[in-house]
Amino acid sequence: MDQRSEERPLRIATRASNLALWQAYYVSDLLKKQTSERPIEIVHITSEGDRDLTSPLSEFGGLGVFTREVQKAVLDGRADLAVHSLKDLPTEQAPGLQLAGIPERGPLYDVLIFPQGSDAVTSIAALPAAARIGTGSLRRRAQLLHQRNDLQMLEVRGNVETRLKKLDSGEYDALCLAEAGMVRLELLEQRASLLLQPPEVYPAVGQGALGIECRTDDSETAVLLTGLSDPSTQAATTAERSLLAFLRAGCHAPIGSLSQVSDDQLTLEAVVLSADGQERICASVTGSFSEAEEIGVKVAQALLADGAGRLISGTEDS
Ligand SMILES: NCc1[nH]cc(CCC(=O)O)c1CC(=O)O
ipTM of the complex: 0.95
Same domain, 253 and 222: no
* Residue of 88, 110, 218, 317 with catalytic role: 88
Mean pLDDT of the residues in the chain: 91
Residue 226 exposure: Cα atoms within 13 Å on the Cβ side: 8
Same domain, 20 and 3: yes
Same domain, 3 and 98: yes
65-74, 101-110, 248-257: range with lowest mean pLDDT: 248-257
Total domain count for the chain?
A: 3
Same domain, 223 and 238: no
Burial tier of 2 (Cβ tally within 10 Å: 0-12, 13-18, 19+): exposed
60 pLDDT more than 80: no
Higher pLDDT, 32 or 317: 32
Judge whether 201 lies within some domain.
Answer: no
Ligand 1 atom with least separation from CA of 110:
16
Query: Whole domain around residue 192: which residue ranges?
Result: 110-196
- DSSP assignments along 224-291, one per residue: HHHHH--HHHHHHHHHHHHHHHHHT--TTSSEEEEEEEETTEEEEEEEEE-TTSS-EEEEEEEEEGGG
pLDDT at 192: 95
Judge whether 309 lies within some domain.
Answer: yes
Same domain, 223 and 240: no
pLDDT at 125: 97
Judge whether 168 lies within some domain.
Answer: yes
pLDDT in tens, 141-195: 999 999 999 999 999 988 889 999 999 999 999 999 999 999 999 999 889 999 9
Would the CB of 211 count as within 6 Å of ligand 1? Answer: no
Percent of all residues in the chain with a pLDDT value above 90, rounded to a whole number: 80
CATH number at residue 79: 3.40.190.10
- Residues 78 and 47: beta-carbon distance below 8 Å: no
Type of residue at 154: L
pLDDT in tens, 43-57: 999 866 666 556 555
CATH number at residue 290: 3.30.160.40
Same domain, 6 and 93: yes
CA of 266 to the centre of ligand 1 (A): 24
Judge whether 204 lies within some domain.
Answer: no
Label each residue of 20-80 as H, E or C.
HHHHHHHHHHHHHHHCCCCCEEEEEECCHHHHCCCCCHHHCCCCCCCCHHHHHHHHCCCCC
Judge whether 85 lies within some domain.
Answer: yes
Would the CB of 108 count as within 6 Å of ligand 1? Answer: no
Entry pTM? 0.92
Same domain, 185 and 241: no
Judge whether 202 lies within some domain.
Answer: no
* Known catalytic membership, residue 88: yes
Same domain, 40 and 114: no
